[in-house]
Amino acid sequence: MPAKTMMSDETLRTAIVRELEWDPKVDATYVGVSAKDGAATLTGHVDSYPQKIAAVRAAERVYGVRAVADEIEVELPSSGRRNDSEIAEEIARERSWNTLIPATIEAEVRDGWVQLRGEVEWPYQRDEAIRAVQHLWGVKGVDSSIVVKPHVKAKPEEVEQRVHDAIARMADLDARSIWVTSTDGTVHLHGHVHSLSERRIAENAAASAPGVVTVEDDIVVTP
């Protein structure tokens, strides 16, 4: 099969615009797109934070995109605006039924922005806390300073093997193109993949391994 040729900036920009228009989770009416040498920049505004996230994910799916700069702003419609107290109450209700969010996490709301703090044992608990609040109506953005402190102590070589095995199980990844190093709970990913979506899959797989505190991703996207 012949290799795909490098797309021009305008061809890539057009592909991203079409993907945004295709995604039902995104109203791309006021989203601007530019592309240069594989780097995409999204500008403009959407009316909810989940739409902002969906727009970035849509751009990451496009073949040829190596990086996405997110400059989209959330401009809530007047009918959807809520004060900080209302958002905080909604977060409290969300936490009351979501058993994946530990009680060690605290949330503070200022001007629609949610700040999450605390300690968790697993990265997925941090990620679940972020997902649980980012879809709530009225939220403009989420900042997290949640610290992962695993109870599981593992040697670097054990962590590396677990992460490598996890990546090898992913059907969408070629584990031979990715290698892993580990130091004090920090996993470093190296190698190359063909899309930002594949890179995110590798990050998520690595974060799920016991003993992992954080993941530093040095994987290069080479379409």
Question: Domain extents for the chain?
Answer: 9-74, 82-148, 156-221
Whether the Cβ atoms of residue 46 and residue 72 lie closer than 8 Å to each other: yes
pLDDT at position 2:
47
Question: CA 70, CA 53: separation in Å to the nearest integer?
Answer: 9
CATH number, domain 156-221, options 3.40.50.970, 3.30.1340.30, 3.40.50.2000, 3.40.605.10: 3.30.1340.30
Same topology for domains 9-74 and 82-148, yes or no? yes
The CATH number of 9-74 is 3.30.1340.30
Residue 5: the pLDDT is 53
Total-model pTM: 0.80
Residues 145-168: what's their mean pLDDT?
A: 86
Buried b (16+ CB within 10 A) or exposed e, 162-191: bbbebbeeeeebebebbebbbeebebbbeb
| Domain covering 82-148, topology | Histidine-containing Protein; Chain: A; (3.30.1340)
**Beta carbons of 120 and 148 less than 8 angstroms apart:** yes
Specify which of 11-20, 159-168, 197-206 reaches the highest per-range mean pLDDT: 11-20
| Confidence at 6, pLDDT banded by 50, 70, 90 | low
Q: Rounded mean pLDDT of 117-144?
A: 91
Chain-wide mean pLDDT for the chain? 90
How many residues comprise the chain? 223
Task: State residue 141's pLDDT score.
Answer: 92
